[in-house]
Chains A and B, each alone.
Chain A
Amino acid sequence: MSGPAAPPSVAPVPAVPTNALVEYLLRLGDDRLVLGHRVSEWCGHGPILEEDIALSNVSLDLLGQATMLLRLAGDAEGRGRNEDALAYFREVVEFRNCQLVELPKGDFAFTIARQFLFDVYAVVMLDALTGSIHGELAAIAAKSLKEAKYHVRHSGEWMLRLGDGTDESHRRVQKAIDDLWRFTGELFAPDDVDRAMQAAGIGPDLAALRPTWESLVRDVVSRATLTIPNDLPRVASTRGGRTGSHTEYLGHMLAEMQIIARSHPGATW
């Protein structure tokens, strides 16, 4: 950023959807909205009551974080869209979440492995964002970080139980890691939006966070007697969820998530 150091939260922002700050906030918010919805699919279907309750609680925290971030995105955009408008009235190509979070919930091992990979990403990313010069984003990050640390304790302990548990639990969670690993490349592949945010002091150097994330992940994975696939993921940063290219699964999820709001626009209860 050049010129006098006005806080970016009050600096004039071009009212276009391609604005880097808006894009950046949508990425952060959509990750949590989409994963929160996916995790909520366990409500009433958990393998044991405690996990039903735990996953519903994690989902609630994620949706709360999404609410704060999407509200901030709507404010930054300046076109009068609030968090509900952004959640319920955007099309699939307008969503900016990573593909990792939109995959179907799978079995319990898949849900836990995905949650663990995301939770570690969340604590590393949120910890970095607490140093953002964007005051409101830093505050949301500090608040969300407390919750994310709580989440990663839950998902990390489950990685140990499943990996070092029975033959079947080990097999299932190992398959989940194998299937999920290629989706983690996108998390640390910076593009122009990330570089603009880094240059402005709003966001961290995304690529530099990867070694921290990977060592935290590998520590738990090896303690769980599991392995990480050798071939590192290769993702073209311009063709992932961050720019609106999604797997076939997101559209189906959104259809279900958005139908009530679209069938009854403006309804209150």
Chain B
Amino acid sequence: MVAQAVRATREALLSVLDRVMDPEVPVLSVRELGIVRDVEVDPTGSVTVTVTPTYSGCPAIRVIEQDIVAALEQAGYPGARVRTTYAPAWTTDWIAPEAKAKLKAYGIAPPGRAESGELVQLFRRRATAQCPYCDSYETELRSEFGSTACKSVCWCRACRQPFEEFKAI
């Protein structure tokens, strides 16, 4: 007998998505990063997951979509659809304090508050990042851009190590 697809509830689906990790920051789930915006189940039981990309050109978004569909299928919800939305625009302010703590433990300085500010604002106004290794604030920004679209590169003058910081956007 072919097993009937499990009748989906929103809560059950969300708990599946809690286990889908971001491929580039594998300590955070796609929900913790704010990539998953919504989950809907229509009366026929078919599932639609709404996602929003972090950066316009984020190469990981296709993999994330595939991972979401695969995880749902494995949990008994085959044929899920993934819908993309751009509004509201993704912001690192959606990353909760618990998720920021996970980033730090993983060795990535969590993002500060996103600056909205003027159209052209040279030089950061906010405080320097805290070193995720030694907790010092004696750090400097080395490059606004890093190994992935979502990270910049810093240097800790206290423990003399480079570290990555999640860009605040």
Contact = CB atoms under 8 A, between A and B. Distances in A.
Nearest to B90: A143
A185 interface: no
B122 A53 contact: no
A154 B144 contact: yes
B119 A53 contact: no
Contacts of A94: none
B147 to A, nearest CB: 7
Contact of A67 (B56, B88, B117, B153): B56
B122 A220 contact: yes
A231 to B, nearest CB: 24
Interface string A135-174: 1101110111111011011101100100000000000000
Interface stretch (A57-65, A245-253, A255-263): A57-65
B145 interface: yes
Interface in B99-144: 114, 117, 119-124, 142-144
A50 interface: yes
A91 B58 CA distance: 28
Interface residues of A, number: 40
Contact of B122 (A57, A124, A153): A153
Contacts of B90: 143
A123 B87 contact: no
Between B57, B58, B59, the greatest number of chain A beta carbons within 10 A of the residue's beta carbon is seen for B57
A250 B119 CA distance: 30
A22 interface: no
B113 to A, nearest CB: 13
A150 B144 contact: yes
A216 interface: yes
Most chain-A Cβ atoms within 10 A of its Cβ — which of B89, B119, B167?
B119
B120 A53 contact: no
A171 B135 CA distance: 43
B169 interface: yes
A133 interface: no
Contacts of B144: 54, 150, 153-154
13 contacts: A50-B143, A53-B147, A56-B145, A57-B145, A61-B56, A67-B56, A120-B120, A143-B56, A146-B169, A153-B124, A160-B122, A220-B120, A220-B122
The 7 A-B pairs at the shortest CB distance, nearest first, are namely: A64-B57, A64-B56, A139-B87, A60-B57, A50-B143, A54-B145, A143-B89
